[in-house]
Amino acid sequence: MATENITAEKQFLTPFNVVAGILLLAGAVITILRFTKGIGAVTNLDNNNPWGLWIGFDLMCGVALAAGGYVTSSACYIFGLKKYHSAVRPAILTAFLGYALVVFALHYDVGRPWRLPYPIFYSQGTSSLLFEVGLCVFLYLTVLFIEWTPAAFEWLGFKRIRAWVVRLTMVLTIFGVVLSTLHQSSLGALFQIVPSKLHPLWYSGYLHVYFFISSMFAGMSMVIFEGTLAHKWLHHKMDETHLAEAEGVVLGFGKAASFVMMGYIGIKLIGLAVDNNWHYLTTGWGFWFLVELVGFVLFPAILYGMGAREKNTTFIRIAAFWTVLGIILNRLNISVIAFNYHLPSADRYVPSFMEVGTTLFIVTLGVVVYKFIVTRMPILYEHPDYKEHH
């Protein structure tokens, strides 16, 4: 009995569980402080900088990196690329958790969780971009939840309900793509109302287009990155079908991402030309802009292309991680770093350690919930009772 207890304790006290437990505990303490002492007690936000890390990373980056859901489901069900079928459920789960955590994180910024339904069901400000973003995120989160439920119903043994939901797959996929097109672009359009605050190299009349196109390769990169981590840490949960199709998913998405990223660079250059902002490239901000565009878009796009041509999945996996970092950098540049660029350094926003701690708490929570679901439900494998239905 003592030996069994020691073994169980070792299985529980893994490095992941220990680190995750510490981050979740710290996040819980910060959460209590935030909702009892107010937002000023835990952030460095002020009237000049009302949006900080929680919006820049938790929302802007979270929505972009959760785009793998609509990208993968549309590739499989709308364009008929069934070879990507094994990637759909992991992508949908990642997207569902991503959007759910975006909504969760938003409470830290705006407070008053009980007022969450107000903008959608009571507000009359339907001409606001924020209303459109809120409505689309609310609807798309609902769509993602319904798309995820077949795995839960298979786990619970609810065959009849599962069959009804599966019949809605095409409708949900189309609806999800439409909603993603709207709110991914609208997040960029939000910053078109602040031309005097956002640096001209990042401000553009095409911001909504930039955000939507970048969400495509962000989603594909996140699917590859998430799959890479899953293959390393959850390999034992994958069936033969998932393992056999994994390389095709990596090569196919890597090739597609390379094309989309080169197109993105093209429209960014067109935007520079239309606004005649070339002279800014010789400044310090211009150097930083080139670091983002060349270092985190062009270089990984080339690496994606090389990996697809040589069928080198290692190149593609590295490029995926590189691109995910690039998306994070882009969204933070627009929402935090290049925002209010004209203010003196003393007045510039720098996130507090509790803001960083809250973000780590939310990311950790997402990873823990993902692990819990994947280790119990048929996400990385096909349920034996439903193989003939796939």
The secondary structure of residue 360, as a DSSP letter, is H
The secondary structure of residue 283, as a DSSP letter, is S
Tens of pLDDT, residue by residue, the chain (390 residues):
445 455 545 567 788 899 999 999 999 999 999 999 999 999 999 888 888 999 999 999 999 999 999 999 999 999 999 999 999 999 999 999 999 999 999 999 988 888 877 777 776 667 778 888 888 999 999 999 999 999 999 999 999 999 999 999 999 999 999 999 999 999 999 999 999 999 999 999 999 999 999 999 999 999 999 999 999 999 999 999 899 999 999 999 999 999 999 999 999 999 999 999 999 999 999 999 999 999 999 999 999 999 999 999 999 999 999 999 999 999 999 999 999 998 888 888 999 999 999 999 999 999 999 999 999 999 999 888 776 555
Domain extents in the chain: 56-377
Q: Is the distance from CB of 317 to CB of 250 less than 8 angstroms?
A: yes
339: phi then psi, degrees, rounded to nearest 5: -90, 135
pLDDT at 87: 95
Q: Is the distance from CB of 33 to CB of 42 less than 8 angstroms?
A: yes
160 token code pair: 């009849």
Which ranges of the chain does DSSP label H, i.e. alpha helix?
A: 2-12, 15-37, 53, 62-65, 68-73, 88-110, 118-121, 129-156, 159-166, 169-189, 207-233, 240-275, 284-290, 299-310, 313-332, 353-374
Report how far residue 257's alpha carbon sits from residue 324's, in angstroms, rounded to the nearest whole number: 12
pLDDT at 10: 58
pLDDT at 389: 55
pLDDT at 6: 55
Report how far residue 115's alpha carbon sits from residue 110's, in angstroms, rounded to the nearest whole number: 10
Residues 6+ apart with CB under 8 A from 141: 96, 99, 100, 103
- In a 3-state reduction of DSSP, which class is residue 51? coil
Report how far residue 142's alpha carbon sits from residue 151's, in angstroms, rounded to the nearest whole number: 16
386 half-sphere exposure, CB direction, 13 A CA radius: 19
Q: What is the CATH number of domain 56-377?
A: 1.20.1630.10
193 half-sphere exposure, CB direction, 13 A CA radius: 7
pLDDT at 384: 85
pTM: 0.93
pLDDT at 50: 87
Residues 6+ apart with CB under 8 A from 332: 56, 57, 60, 61
pLDDT at 264: 98
pLDDT at 388: 59
pLDDT at 115: 82
Q: 52: left (phi > 0), else alpha (psi -120 to 50), else beta? A: beta
372: phi then psi, degrees, rounded to nearest 5: -60, -45
pLDDT at 7: 53
